[in-house]
Structure 1
Amino acid sequence: MFKKLACFTGWLAVLCLSLIFSFMLGLWQGWSTPGILLLWLLVMVLAALLWHSLPELLLLIRGKKGRRWFTKYRLSRREYVLFNHWKAGASVIRRIKRRRTHLPWYLLVGERCGKSTLLASAGLPRFYGDSVDGITAPTRTLRWWFFRDLCVLDLSSNFLNGAASFRQAWSKLARWCTHIPAPGGIIIALPMSQLMRGDLSQLHALARQQRSLIEPLVRHYGERLPLYVLVTQCDKFPGFSLWQHQLSDAQRQQALGYTWSVPPHIDGQDDTTLQPLFTRLHEGFSLVRLSMARPATLSAPEYNALLDFPEAFARLEPALRYTLAALCEANAYFSPATLKSIWFCAAEPQVENQGRRSSYFIQELLTRHLPALSLKRSGLRWYQRSFGRTCCYTAAGICALWLAISASMSAMRLRPGLAELAPDKLAAFVAADEQHATLALPWLPFMPLFNQQQREAETLLARIPVTARPARQTLEAYQQRALHASPAQQRHAILQLAAAVTRWRQMQQGTPLDTLAEAAPISDELTQNVYPPTLSPLTRLALERYYMQRPYGERWLQNAQRVLENLVNHDLSLRWLQAPDAAFPPLHAATFWPALPDSLALDGRWTQAGEATVNQWMAEIEAAAGRTEPVFQPLRESWQQVRQQAWRHYLIDVTAHLSPDETGTVSRRQLIAISQNQSPAMRFAARIVDELDTIAPEHAQPWLTTLRDVQTLARAGDGAALLQRTERINNQLRQSLAAWFQGKSQTAAAATAQSAQQAWLAWQKSRNSAVTAAVAQEKPGDTLTRGLFTPGQQKPDTNPLGTLLPALATLQERVSPDEPDADVAAVWRLYQDDARTLLANAMASSACWLNTQWKSSVIWPLGKNAEKRSYEEQQTLSQQLVGNFLRGPAKPMLSVDNNGLRAAGFAGMTLPLTAEFSQYLRNAFPPDILQDLPQRTTTKVQDRKATLQAKVAALELQQSKLEKQVVKTTVTSLPATIAEGAQVIPTGTQLLLNCQKGGQVLSSMNFADKADFTWQPGQCRGVTLSVTFPDFVAVDQINGDDAWPWFVSLFSSGETLIDSRDFGDSAELLKRLGIKQILVRFAMSNTQPLEEAWQSWKTNADEISSLTQQISDLNEQSAYPQPDELAAHALSGLPDEIAQCQ
């Protein structure tokens, strides 16, 4: 139990470790998961094969220690002991075989018949193992007997009738016996007692047991393993012991039996099968009987028995024949066996020591007959055996038949009178004759005749007169013509010369004419000779091959290769190789988008077809040159990078021509193609990925990597749900294993890949929803754009078009989290084409529906009963109908900007309204016409304006009350002077307060004069201060509603310095007099009421001014005309079509 558990645990560990190793290697190499599992299965198969072949490998390599250790744990205890016994003798046989010495060995089987006693009592020396003749013990398993010229492997009778373990051990022992040199035969021991008893059923059972035992070896070796029957215990036959005692010692050592020179056919019903055996025995017995005298020691009965012994012994023939039939007859259960000899022997107790026995008639059998028989059989040649002779006769008959058939067919192939054939027919004959395979069996014996016939035909062709060309001049002229040609013509000339060089080399190698004729013919300007124009192309080809196989043809080929090298290397930029050609036509963008111009195309050499064509050209040139051209190496190294650049520019150009704001309807087939990832943009993206699939990921540019990632998501999304789930689980498993092998948690890349897949599915769901809605709409309507221009009025997921571009933006963020450059942005503009196509289809459908509504709700009602209405009534009706139309079906499809009403838009795309209708809306209607009256801006402005006007009226009433207040202030004048001193000093002052009711004056000659001044808010707007000098008067004028309050606050301290610049026209005169400041003195009394009255009036005036400004702003804001205030518009201004409906 422990051994089974250990074995199971070991195999489980091997399975797990091999699986981990396979995944590590596969993830490192970037293999697919099925490939990794296939590798794992292959490793398991190899491990199983190694497990079964390891014992043999250990036996062959490591020797005894390894064999002993490994076999101990692979075999059971009994099998291990059996193996040790067998190995002891097998090693001796192998060692003798390696010395190239012949030592035959035989297998001895029998059931408790004294066979081991017979060998032990033979009195022959043994050369291995225990050579002491002791009391023989029964053989438990097996025993090796090594005599001088023979080895016998004695098997225990337990293998015949033992337990199942012995039968299992015998199967392994039989397999071990096949690993050493083949045995000389199998000796089957039959006890005399069984034959004498004559029980046929028991004899049959015994024979079948022995036949079943030796069947594995007989099946393995076949006729090479003869059977030898040894009848033991003959001393039990009446008279046998008496008879052998009358013989001499030398006679008792001879072999008693018979050997067939030709193996007999065993038939249980044939009485003559054993006749040779018993005839010879009877003759021998009779001769011995005649030579005997009557011994004096024998009684009369014993002597009679001795005389009757030969005839009595012959009565064993039926039982022996029946036993041999059961043993050797062929049937459906056993392989055919060959009987070689039958021998009789005995082992009788010694007279001196009854515990020991002496064997008779066995000595010469072991020392002479059996070794001789093995030598005779080993020296037999294979062709001397029956099967070999049959094979030889069969081969000779086949060869004779082959020669006869070949002769008849060759006679039909040989054609006389070749010299009488015309050149074209002669060339056709050569071509037809070459179609026969050179080493075909029907022609092989007579190939020299066919070769001679072909040489004769070519010699006859060579008699045709031709004009030879000089190789150097002809090929150099060809080179000059090619160098002066255009790049495309240069390439044609180079390829033509390369093809000719390849053809000439094939001609030198003896390629058949039919094979040469399959390719394009060699140009007439490159042939070695000028051939008559009457010759057929096949005849010219045959002549060209004939002359090319001559020494002059070798020189011609060398010159042609030199010219080819010159032409290939004359232009290192390889313009001739990359020139346009019809073999790789340009890839037009109109193939995907028919509306794009034909001029937008990719050079054909950057496609896979172009790349394959260029590679084929280079391969043809290098094959003709016989080496790799160094001039092609830079092109090969930079080809993939240049291809990427070409496709990158092409992608940018194509996406730049895809108009993002054009609208138009899409057919149902195009919509279904979009849902199946077969739109022009998706087909173009798939074409780019397929064209550049040979570029390794590490060499791919960012835009190509992004495109591949998105296409991978698209392909994963195209599969069935089960396949998608399987692929997702596969990716997660691989990413988890990769992270585990690296000793860290799952990377952010795995999460990014999963989120990218989810984003792609979200984008695909939004796109398919939009396609489903578009396909379901049978006629133009506003359902596709419903809620698109006013998203706040509906749920965000109501219209799938509203989530289409955001879903694509999310996908872009997941796939390209970094700021994309121009190349990557072009990739995403390509994928935006589907979204914009669906959006354009929706807007075109809505525009057509709106145009229909315009005609049914405006144009048709105006035209109905128009003759019954006056022009003014028509104008009024038109205004009413247009207003209802704008507030009704057109309201969701219009928007407002600084210029007025315009067509609504989404994602940079607007409804295709006509310019005439847009101009009509801006000129005839205010922006708030789309709103209800309470919600219009003008209504709100008027309400605000009325509120402000009411506040202004209340403040104006309060202001008028404040202006009626009278405030009296007493002013006392004091002397004015120049504080810094001057040549002229003031002589007096005058103060004048200007009010609406008149002026109030205080004049003083620098004395203390006093006057009362009366001031009303808003009624006194000026104060004049005059300073009198001897020759002039300096006047300072102060204006404004705050002039008097400000003047009073200025002299609140009783005096103030007034700068000379404040005196207006007198400022220059004061400056010349050196007067900078004048000190003026006035004493003010009762100023507090004045300050309070002024502050109240000023605060009220400021509020009135602010409200007035707000009213003014509202007036400017509401400067647009109102619908009921609009002037009548001409009816001819109404547009007939308001949308560009396709």
Structure 2
Amino acid sequence: MLKKLACFTGWLLVLCLSLLFSFTLGLWQDWRTSSILVFWLLMLLVTVLLWCVGHALVLVIKGKKGRRLFEKFRLSRREFVLKAHWKTGASIIKRARRQREKLPLFLLLGDRCGKSTLLASAGLPTFYNNADDTLIRPTRTLRWWFFRQLCVLDVSSNFLSGSPAVAQAWKRLVQWCTSMPAPAGVIIAIPVTSLLNADLSALHALIRQQRALLEPLVRRFGEQLPLHIVITQCDRFPGFSLWAQQLSDEQRLQPLGYTWSHPPHIDGQDEQILHPLFSALKLGMSHVRLSMGRSVELTATEDTTLLNFPEEFSRLEPALRYAVASLCEPNAYFRHTSLSSIWFCATEPLEENRSRRAGLFVHHLLANHLKDLGLRRGNQRWLERPHVRKICSATLALAALWIAVSAWLSFDYLKATESQSAPDGLAAFLAKDEQRHFLSPRYLPFFPLLEARRQKTEAHLLQTPSKKRQPEIALDAYQWQVLRAAPEEQRDLILSLADAVITWQQMRDGFTLDALQKNPPVKKALLQREYPRTLSPLSIMAIERHFMLSSDGEKWLLTARRLLESLLNHDPALQWLVAPGALLPPLQAAAWWPSLPDSIMLSGLWTLEGEKKLFGWISTLEKAVSHPLPILTQEKTRWPTQRQDAWRQYLIEVSAHLSHITPAKLARPHLVAMGQNKSSAMQFVHRTLNELQDIKAPQAQPWLQTLRQLQQLSTEANASTIVRRTTQIDRQVRQTLTDWLQGNRDSKMPDSAAPADRAWLHWQTVRNKAVKEAVSQGAPDAHLTRALFAKNENGDGNPITDLLPALTALQEHITPQNTDAGVNAVWLFYQNDAQRLAANAIHQSTCWLNAQWKRSVIWPLGKNNDTRGYEQQQALSQQLIGDFLRGPANAFLEKDKSGLSAVSFAGIHAPLTAEFIHLVRHGYPAEKLLDIQERESTRDEDQITALVTKVTALETEQNALSKKSWKLNISSMPATVPGGAQLVPIGTQLTLSCQNGEQKFTSMNFADTQSFSWQPGHCTDVSVSVMFPGFTVHHRLYGEDAWPTFIRRFTSGEALFQNSEFGDDADLLEQTGIKNLLVRFSLSDTYELETAWQAWYARAQNIDELNTQIADLAFRSEQHTSTPISALPGDIAQCN
């Protein structure tokens, strides 16, 4: 039990270790899990197969047990026994062959015709057989008869039965025969009774069985397998035994038959086929008949039988001819067989032992004749064989024909080149001549002549005038040209130099002109010599190749190779290698978005085709310098990062232009494609992933990882639940195993796969719902934008409103704390689909709104407009437009600082025309879209009413104050000029103008007193006059506060006036040199008057402020004037 447990544990440990090795190798090579498991199973299978093969080889090497075991299972019991009998004789024949002994082998076939008895009664000693061969026993399978110089394989008559098992055994026997030297012949035994039978169908059936048995051997050996027909049991022919008894013992040992020196042509219609045989038999029997004489022991009947025996024996010819024709004549089923001889034999019992029999006419046949026939056929000179003669004759004829054809082709070849004297013609001949292989059968007999012609042509071509160039001068000039060229031109020049170096190396390696012409042409600046302009490129190449094979050519090549290495190392950044060019078409964003400008493109060098092109250039450069360069190796290492940087910048640029979305209608095919993840943005994303599919996961930048993760989510979303779950488990197992192999013990598998999947499915569901509604939308309608700008009364949510939040949720699951611009660009491509769906919905709704404008505003205004006046038409337009704004247009307008404007969603504004926006801003305030209790004008009117009430109250109080009057006593004092003057005032006058008249106080510089009466709001003019001799100057005060201002000025009893304060009279003062005047008025108590003024003035200010507010509110409500009907727009939305 412990042994079994240990064995099981060991095998389990081996399986686990092999699986761990497979996963380690697969994760290192970034294989898929399925590929890793297949590799593991194949490794186990190969290991088991190798173990089985090794074990079998050990068994075969040690004891050949394997071969015996396989033979038992491969052969049936009958075949196994047959194999054992076959190997017994085959080993003897092979041993005799190794000893260079000639032992002809004959196969003996027959159907119970006494063939085994005939061999046993031949009276010849046998070898390699301890059994008594004289005993007559039937042959069940095979029986070997080894005579002194002959071997006969007696094949059992059971093989003629035709059963499937026997047929399979016979195929095995024929297969074994092919592994040995070819048999010397086949002996066909036919009983004479079959020939004597008048029914030829039985004879035909017998011959057909033998022919079918013989066919595999004939198919394998052909004419090398002659047939020897032996007629057995001739003692049953009437008179044959009596005739044989009359012969001597020596005569009975001799063979009775005929041998053809050449195989006869067998034709069943030819009656002369066996004529040589029976003519010879009849002649010999006639001679023997004469020698017999008349025996006294014979009766008259027996004597008559002996005399007629030769003629009677000839009766066998027709039947035998039929048998030979059936056996040897070819037909649709059997091949032709060659007949060598026909013999007649018989056996008779011995008088002393009737159980044994003695053979007649068989001893010498087996001892000499068959041996001689077999050896003579084996020793026949190969040239004397008919088929060999035919082959030799055909070979000589073909050789003569070959030489004749070659002579004719060579003559035409040389004749066509005799007229070529121009260099281009000579070069064309050399190129054509090089296509002719030096062992070409067409020109091989005359190869030396053609080779001499080629050398002469090449020498003649080299006589073309040309001027040698120094490599230092020519290549230095080329280097200067490269260094001052633009990066793209530098790349072309450096690659041209590399191609030239490769071409020169191929010239030194012996390439033909046709092979060299497949290379890019060498620039003229790199040629070794200067040639005439009329010389063709082929001629230049032929001459260049000749000089390149010289020592100067080797120096030129080495100098060019050093120059190439220096040019490759002159720019460590290899800007010339990755410079954009016209060789590869750029990847334009307009291919996906026709509205984008053609300037947004990515160089074709960063695509897969460009990568192949770049690596081809690097391969060309490395091949040219004949060894890897570190700078090119570093470029290969940096290439994945550079490609990702270029694609990242391309994505950022494209996404920046896609962020400006305008409302536009999406066609039905575009909507269907969007629902199938085949929108322009998704196709662009798929193209990006396909172009960067060779970037391995460890080398991928964050934006590419995000893009691949989104693609993986899309793929898994389309799969079944079991597949998604299996993928998640696979991802977790791979990540865990990778962390374990890298030694990251504390790393945890982020549990964000399931939330990301759910977020992706939610995003897909919302998007597909929005697409479905957009596809099912017929005529333009506002249904697509329901609740898009605000929730409607029914609360029916629009799937478009959930698009961007769903995408934001997905973004938070995949890249929660992203600061990379490339990752943001990736999300903008997915956001583009949502924005386009929203733009389509807004476009459809605004088109519906435009139709509503025409139906509810424009059409009613045009209907019966002749029956209404302009005022009525204007009133109707105001009503219709107001109803329209409060109705269909209410959801498409919003209020901002400038008034009403078009609504927007996700930065997409409704495409309302500027004329319509101007109409609603200046002709219809935004408050008209609200209910009357929510309008601002309603609040303004309420406020104006409140303010008017306050004004009325203040005016009542002010009027009450205005009806009262306050008295003030004023005393005058002399007015003077400070500092003195030529003229001095002679008097003063104070005037107070009120609504009820003027009050004046005139003083001639005496101490006078007068009383003044003042009412607030009724006195608005005060005048102070200073009288001089000949003129008077006046200082005036105006306004409701004129009298209070005067009082405050003279509170101290005097006031100093500047000459500029006297208005137009200031010039008179200036002329007299007076700059200041001091006026004196003494006032009584002014407290009550000042208090009354302050009270009245405060109410006046309040009334003014309230009136200002009332005016502002009234102006705001009256600033929207009626719009002329002619200013109404025909279309209010851009609906193209």
Q: TM-score, normalization: structure 1?
A: 0.68
Aligned position for 1:845? 844
* Structure 2 Cα separation of the partners of residues 540 and 467 of structure 1: 12
Aligned position for 2:348? 348
Aligned position for 1:891? 890
* 8 A Cα contact 2:192 2:231, kept in partner: yes
- Aligned ranges for residues 19-168 of structure 1 at < 5 Å? 65-66=65-66, 68-74=68-74, 76-90=76-90, 92-93=92-93, 102-133=102-133, 135-161=135-161, 165-167=165-167
Summarize deviations over 1:576-628 as a string: whole Å, max 9, x none.
22233222354343443344455543333212333233223223323333344
TM-superposed deviation, 1:663: 3.0
CA RMSD of aligned residues (A): 5.3
* Structure 2 Cα separation of the partners of residues 368 and 760 of structure 1: 103
Aligned position for 1:1054? none
* Structure 1 Cα separation of the partners of residues 170 and 793 of structure 2: 94
TM-superposed deviation, 1:113: 0.9
Summarize deviations over 1:10-60 as a string: whole Å, max 9, x none.
xxxxxxxxxxxxx999999979999999x999x99xx9xxx9x9xx99999
Aligned position for 2:547? 547
Q: Report the 3-state secondary structure (helix = DSSP H, G, I; strand = E; otherwise coil) of the residue aligned with 2:659.
A: coil
* Structure 1 Cα separation of the partners of residues 1135 and 657 of structure 2: 23
* 8 A Cα contact 1:426 1:461, kept in partner: yes
Change (3 A) 1:380 1:716: farther
Aligned position for 2:1120? 1129
Aligned position for 2:526? 526
Kindly indicate whether residue 790 of structure 2 is the aligned counterpart of residue 772 of structure 1. no
- Aligned ranges for residues 864-1013 of structure 1 at < 5 Å? 880-894=879-893, 903-907=902-906, 909-913=908-912
- Aligned ranges for residues 104-503 of structure 1 at < 5 Å? 104-133=104-133, 135-161=135-161, 165-167=165-167, 169-245=169-245, 247=247, 249-286=249-286, 288=288, 302=302, 305-306=305-306, 308-380=308-380, 384-415=384-415, 421-431=421-431, 440-503=440-503
Aligned position for 2:693? 693
Q: TM-score, normalization: structure 2?
A: 0.69
Aligned position for 1:593? 593
1:457 partner letter: T
* 8 A Cα contact 2:919 2:1123, kept in partner: no
Q: Report the 3-state secondary structure (helix = DSSP H, G, I; strand = E; otherwise coil) of the residue aligned with 1:593.
A: coil
Q: Report the 3-state secondary structure (helix = DSSP H, G, I; strand = E; otherwise coil) of the residue aligned with 2:113.
A: coil
TM-superposed deviation, 1:87: 4.7
Runs of at least 5 residues in structure 1 that lack an aligned partner in the other structure: 1-22, 718-723, 943-1118
Kindly indicate whether residue 827 of structure 2 is the aligned counterpart of residue 828 of structure 1. yes
* 8 A Cα contact 2:786 2:792, kept in partner: no
- Aligned ranges for residues 648-663 of structure 1 at < 5 Å? 648-659=648-659, 662-663=662-663
* Structure 2 Cα separation of the partners of residues 737 and 316 of structure 1: 92
Summarize deviations over 1:1047-1082 as a string: whole Å, max 9, x none.
xxxxxxxxxxxxxxxxxxxxxxxxxxxxxxxxxxxx
* 8 A Cα contact 1:226 1:339, kept in partner: yes
* 8 A Cα contact 2:675 2:768, kept in partner: no
Aligned position for 1:610? 610
2:602 partner letter: L
2:605 partner letter: R
TM-superposed deviation, 1:689: 2.5
1:833 partner letter: N
TM-superposed deviation, 1:262: 0.8
TM-superposed deviation, 1:264: 1.1
Change (3 A) 1:837 1:337: same
TM-superposed deviation, 1:314: 3.3
Summarize deviations over 1:248-301 as a string: whole Å, max 9, x none.
555444433222121112233433212222333344445555665766766665
- Aligned ranges for residues 660-679 of structure 1 at < 5 Å? 662-666=662-666, 674=674, 679=679
Summarize deviations over 1:378-410 as a string: whole Å, max 9, x none.
444665433333333233323322322332232
TM-superposed deviation, 1:189: 0.7
* Structure 1 Cα separation of the partners of residues 453 and 674 of structure 2: 70
TM-superposed deviation, 1:868: 7.1
TM-superposed deviation, 1:125: 3.7
* 8 A Cα contact 2:203 2:323, kept in partner: yes
1:280 partner letter: A
Q: Report the 3-state secondary structure (helix = DSSP H, G, I; strand = E; otherwise coil) of the residue aligned with 1:644.
A: helix
* Structure 1 Cα separation of the partners of residues 1114 and 163 of structure 2: 120
Which stretch has the larger CA shift, 852-861 or 578-587?
852-861
1:617 partner letter: W
1:769 partner letter: K
* Structure 1 Cα separation of the partners of residues 144 and 1113 of structure 2: 131
Change (3 A) 1:61 1:443: farther
* 8 A Cα contact 1:141 1:156, kept in partner: yes
* 8 A Cα contact 2:928 2:935, kept in partner: no
TM-superposed deviation, 1:305: 4.5
* Structure 1 Cα separation of the partners of residues 825 and 791 of structure 2: 29
Change (3 A) 1:852 1:163: closer
TM-superposed deviation, 1:324: 1.2
TM-superposed deviation, 1:768: 4.3
Kindly indicate whether residue 577 of structure 2 is the aligned counterpart of residue 577 of structure 1. yes
* 8 A Cα contact 2:924 2:1120, kept in partner: no
* 8 A Cα contact 1:773 1:784, kept in partner: no
Q: Report the 3-state secondary structure (helix = DSSP H, G, I; strand = E; otherwise coil) of the residue aligned with 2:211.
A: helix
Which stretch has the larger CA shift, 319-328 or 253-262?
253-262
* Structure 2 Cα separation of the partners of residues 250 and 228 of structure 1: 23
Runs of at least 5 residues in structure 2 that lack an aligned partner in the other structure: 1-21, 737-749, 941-1109
TM-superposed deviation, 1:845: 3.3
Summarize deviations over 1:1104-1130 as a string: whole Å, max 9, x none.
xxxxxxxxxxxxxxx9x9999955622
Equivalent pairs, count: 917
Change (3 A) 1:359 1:895: farther
* 8 A Cα contact 1:785 1:846, kept in partner: yes
Q: Report the 3-state secondary structure (helix = DSSP H, G, I; strand = E; otherwise coil) of the residue aligned with 2:335.
A: coil
* Structure 1 Cα separation of the partners of residues 187 and 480 of structure 2: 93
Change (3 A) 1:695 1:786: same
TM-superposed deviation, 1:930: 5.4
Q: Report the 3-state secondary structure (helix = DSSP H, G, I; strand = E; otherwise coil) of the residue aligned with 1:479.
A: helix
Aligned position for 1:564? 564
TM-superposed deviation, 1:802: 5.0
* Structure 1 Cα separation of the partners of residues 393 and 760 of structure 2: 76
2:345 partner letter: C
* Structure 1 Cα separation of the partners of residues 890 and 99 of structure 2: 113
Identity percentage over the alignment? Answer: 48
* Structure 1 Cα separation of the partners of residues 751 and 306 of structure 2: 108
Which stretch has the larger CA shift, 608-617 or 241-250?
241-250
* Structure 2 Cα separation of the partners of residues 287 and 733 of structure 1: 107
Q: Report the 3-state secondary structure (helix = DSSP H, G, I; strand = E; otherwise coil) of the residue aligned with 1:340.
A: strand
1:185 partner letter: G
Change (3 A) 1:301 1:482: same
* Structure 2 Cα separation of the partners of residues 36 and 835 of structure 1: 41
Change (3 A) 1:923 1:268: closer
* Structure 1 Cα separation of the partners of residues 74 and 418 of structure 2: 78
Q: Report the 3-state secondary structure (helix = DSSP H, G, I; strand = E; otherwise coil) of the residue aligned with 1:693.
A: coil
* Structure 2 Cα separation of the partners of residues 36 and 121 of structure 1: 74
* 8 A Cα contact 1:144 1:154, kept in partner: yes
* 8 A Cα contact 1:479 1:567, kept in partner: yes
Q: Report the 3-state secondary structure (helix = DSSP H, G, I; strand = E; otherwise coil) of the residue aligned with 2:143.
A: strand
